[in-house]
Structure 1
Amino acid sequence: MSTPKTKQSPGLAERWNGLGLWAKIGVSAGALVILLAIAVLVARWLTSLGAVQDFMTTYPGQSELPAGAPVGLPAWLGWQHFLNMFFILLIIRSGWQVRTTKRPAAHWIRNNKGLVKTKGNPTKISLDLWFHLSLDALWVLNGAIFIVVLFATGQWLRIVPTSWDVFPNAISAGLQYLSLDWPTDDGWVNYNGLQLLTYFITVFIAAPLAIATGLRMSGAWPKNATTLNKIYPITAARALHFPVMLYFVGFIVVHVTLVLATGALRNLNHMYASSNEVNWWGFGIFAASLVVMAGAWFLAQPLFLRPIASLTGKVSK
């Protein structure tokens, strides 16, 4: 006589897959809060040790800038900051839609007319992907202008490591942030080591990775380049592109949080008003930029995108 099989309770993976999107977000947020609390406790314990205190005295968090490094943030940097923020916000939104939308509201196919013509039939893509690629092109153009002006004005000295002591200073600054005894530095003159390395990674590593992986996944990549495609397969690009997007999301969250928590008025004046004063001008410009971005977020839907996309191709449902 066979014994009846007992029903096994679902495992952790099955339970996770059974949760809805908002439930997953809530669980992830709760886990993140717990991890941050543990990190704060560990950092406060470490900074109470004599050896760590000596280390932080030797490396207070900032590296000395080279002679001739510029002081202050010019107006062009404020405009670049806004444009970059504007484009990256919509790029993340449209990229997420491309990744998650199963039945796009509309499709776009390029007109094979004009000065530039390609062989074969143009590829039909979703309207979301057209918007994503169009934003990518504008973001890359803005980034190219930023890099040229950055080196032409010497501002690169503020975000490119020029001394090895930036690494222990970054560790010191990180311990200060985690222990909630935040470093008292002046971003108008010099970034701390952790800021410098983060900005360097964002500008010179994460952004090029986003471009290189996005280009490999786009229709502009030469499909018949057999050797090149073996060296750089599309699977590698797909495996990197989404984590790079997550990096930008994390950077934005931490960056905005620290800007608002470590002297909001002064920091916003640095970024938007090109001033080291403490007044409401920078906050006002920042608030206006949020209105512009909220408006663009609302308008970024098929009803408003179709007429623009139809200027360069045929839009169909």
Structure 2
Amino acid sequence: MINVALSAGADSELGFPAWLRAAHFINLLFMGLLIRSGFEILSSHPRLYWRNDCGPGTEWIRFTKKKVPSEEGAYFARDDECTLSPLISLPGRKNIGIARYWHGVITTLWILNGLVYVVLLFGTGEWRRIVPTSWSVFPDAWESLKIYAGFGVPSLEHFQPYDALQQLMYFTVVFVAAPLMIVTGPVMSPAVVGRFPWYPKLFGGRQAARSLHFLGMAFFAVFTVMHVTLVFVVHPDHNLTQMVLGEADPARFAQALTMTIIGLVGVVVLWLAASYWSLSDLRRSQVIFERLTEPIRRMTVNRLVSRQRSKQVWTEKDISPYHWSNGRHPVGDESPEWGRLRGNDWKDYRLEIGGLVDEPVSLSLDDLRAMPRQTQITMHTCMQGWTGIAKWSGVRLKDVLDLVEKKPGARYVKLTSFGLAQKMHGGKPLEPYYTCLPPEVVEEDETILAFDMNDKPLPLTFGAPLRLRVESIHGYKMIKYIRSIEWVEDYRTEGDGRGGTREDSSYQSFNARI
């Protein structure tokens, strides 16, 4: 006989109030959206590591058959992307930008729903349903597990309202797995990692936190499938009516079953509708989600500035032996000027600084190298998930911009590349890759124009002769092969008006701090 951990008196007080049933249903909806958008994010770099350098062969698990050459630049991170169907991921079809929007918004709503649930749980005494109050819960749970393993079902008397195994599982979900997801999620933000470099070390590093986050997602996915399945297997006439109607009335089982099936079908329809709604107009989705997510960023990461250099977080021994990259250098007729400059070892290269300024300035590489140099060893964080540590040397962007006097109304800095975009929204002809930065990013001490990497001139793969480094944002805004810098009035007047090539064509966020 399994001992029941809770007293009969306490058990009789525990029910399924309306708030608990509503929170439970909302949680199912949100968890599905989070898992599906998580699939889309993972598919962008379907490899998981415990080490920060993410070198070929160092992953502990991968979800692709693609092989990565050991030579840097022979294979790019975007080559590693996988395509998932909208039936599986949110939104599907290699749209990590929209997936990250979904993930951010739903995470916020999921946490709010969870907070309401926990507050009401302890405010009403319902906490006794999932918090064990006796060590006997462990042997009792073992007995239940043996019964389930033998394809049996514990007798009804053991559900007060849950049996011991259920109680342990629900306790783990609410007080272990959910907090793990909440505390590892911020480690994906370059702003958080740069400002609080000690934080990812709590989990063994940024990639270790990403792996733990994945394992938490896998746990929730398996738990959700098992939980929904057992609803229809374990005393459904008793438990299902309690879960749906708030009372254990077997006579109302048909009603409860019908409502459950309708509810589950409705949830699945919403999951899929979210994908196809997003894909039907990617620009509309981007605009709506930017309006929803920017208030979240203002309350969380917008004030965080990287301190990797000042805190000397990384040393030369931490430099990654292999560093992923994105964006092929200009080839052929894509940029004959860049090819000519490269052929002359950059001797004729000029960085043009203009736009809304009183007097434009043109600088050679020698001019830039003659300016006060800044060297920083930092972690590059890509929105796809990979990281790499390198030593960058160059000049602070704000020092370069101090060489010109901007005109009134100049509020944003636009950097343009010799290279072209890889694709354009609406299938337009390819245009030069560009990005725009707000003044607060320009003013950060770790925002530099780098001409050296790991004590050598910048390699072609990583943006020669000059590239942008901003250590508090994701890499898609760190433009390579810089041709010119301009002060502009508003980023919305440039390109498609979203703030950069990746924002225009891949629907990323202008604010790349998270």
**Shared fold (TM-score, shorter chain, > 0.5):** yes
Q: Residue 281 of structure 1: which of 242, 255, 259 is its match?
A: 255
Match of 2:89 in 1: none
State how far apart, in whole Å, the 1-side matches of 2:33 and 2:150 are: 34
Matched position secondary structure for 2:194? coil
Distance 2:256 2:157 in 1: 16
Q: Report how far residue 268 of structure 1 moved.
A: 2.1
Aligned to 1:63: 5
1:188·1:270 contact (CA, 8 Å) conserved in 2?
no
One-letter amino acid matched to 1:264: P
1:259 to 221, 225, 231: 231
Alignment match of 1:100 (pick from 35, 43, 62): 43
Distance in structure 1 (CA, Å) of the matches to 2:130 and 2:224: 17
CA contact (8 A) 1:61 1:172 kept: no
Deviates more, 1:175-184 or 1:197-206: 175-184
Q: Judging changes above 3 Å, is the alpha-carbon distance between structure 1 residues 136 and 187 closer, same or farther for their aligned structure 2 residues? A: farther
Deviations 1:185-207 (A, max 9, x none): 25773311111101100110001
Work out whether 1:149 is the aligned partner of 2:91.
no
Are 1:303 and 2:279 matched, yes or no? yes
Assess, with a 3 A threshold, how the Cα gap between structure 1 residues 98 and 157 changes in structure 2: closer, same or farther: same
Q: Which one has the bigger strand percentage? A: 2
Separation in structure 2 between the aligned mates of residue 255 and residue 231 of structure 1, nearest angstrom? 31
Match of 1:86 among 8, 29, 32: 29
AA aligned to 1:130 is Y
Offset at residue 82 of structure 1 (A): 0.5
Contact 1:66 1:162 in 2 (8 A): no
What are the ranges of 5 or more consecutive residues in structure 1 without an aligned counterpart? 1-56, 106-124
Structure 1 residue aligned with 2:107, among 131, 136, 153? 136
Q: 1:291 aligns with which of 262, 265, 274?
A: 265
Contact 1:94 1:129 in 2 (8 A): yes
**Partners of 2:287 and 2:214 in 1: CA distance:** 29
1:197-276 to 2 correspondence within 5 Å?
Answer: 197-218=168-189, 221-232=192-203, 233-276=205-248
Superposed CA deviations along residues 133-174 of structure 1, whole A, max 9, x for unmatched, are: 211111111001000001011110110011111111111111
Q: In 1, distance between residues paired with 2:246 and 2:116? A: 19
CA distance in 2, matches of 1:221, 1:166: 39
| Change in 2 beyond 3 A, CA 1:153/1:188 | farther
CA distance in 2, matches of 1:304, 1:175: 49
In the alignment of these two chains, the number of paired residues is 241
Contact residue 81 and residue 271 of structure 1 kept, 8 A: no
Q: Distance in 1 between matches of 2:281 and 2:240?
A: 32
One-letter amino acid matched to 1:204: F
TM-score of the aligned structures, taking structure 1 as reference length: 0.69
Which structure is larger by alpha-carbon Rg, 1 or 2?
Answer: 2
Q: CA RMSD in A?
A: 2.5
Shift of 1:272: 1.6
SS in structure 1 at match of 2:249: coil
Amino acid aligned to 2:104: L
For residues 183 and 249 of structure 1, the distance between their equivalents in structure 2, rounded to whole angstroms, comes to 24
Provide the C-alpha distance between the structure 2 equivalents of 1:312 and 1:93, rounded to a whole number of angstroms: 17
Higher helix fraction (1 or 2): 1
CA distance in 2, matches of 1:295, 1:181: 33
Q: Which has the higher contact order (CA 8 A, sep 6+)?
A: 1
Q: Specify every segment of 5 or more residues in structure 2 that has no aligned partner in the other structure, as ranges.
A: 45-80, 85-95, 291-497, 506-514
